[in-house]
Amino acid sequence: MEKHRPLVKTPRLISRGKTTPKWRKGRGFSLPELKEAGITLNLAKKLGIYVDRRRSSKHEKNVEYLKSILENLGKQES
């Protein structure tokens, strides 16, 4: 089973003149992202979704990705 990784923003390094953050793969989805997508922590572990408890941000891209994972699972079970 494939492990799913979220997108997170890189830190803003203002001292080095970098003010626009870029997107990169993160360690795991945040708890608010899981909650908005309707996924519990136990279900995330069963599905092989990484969870990063340190993150508190919520990105809409990640929520949409989680919802698409649930839709794909529903189609496969039918």
pLDDT in tens, 3-38: 788 888 888 777 777 778 888 899 999 999 999 999
* Residue 2 pLDDT class (50, 70, 90 cuts): low
Alpha-carbon distance values, 58 to 5, 6, 44, 52, 62 (Å)? 14, 11, 16, 12, 8
pLDDT for position 47: 87
Q: Domain total for the chain?
A: 1
Q: Is residue 2 part of a domain?
A: no
Task: Give residue for tokens 């990484």.
Answer: 50
Considering only CA atoms, which of 16, 6, 18 is closest in space to residue 54? 6
Give the domain extent around 60: 7-77
Q: What is the C-alpha separation between 72 and 19, in angstroms, rounded?
A: 37
Q: Is residue 44 part of a domain?
A: yes
pLDDT for position 30: 96
Q: Is residue 25 part of a domain?
A: yes
* Residue 60 pLDDT class (50, 70, 90 cuts): very high
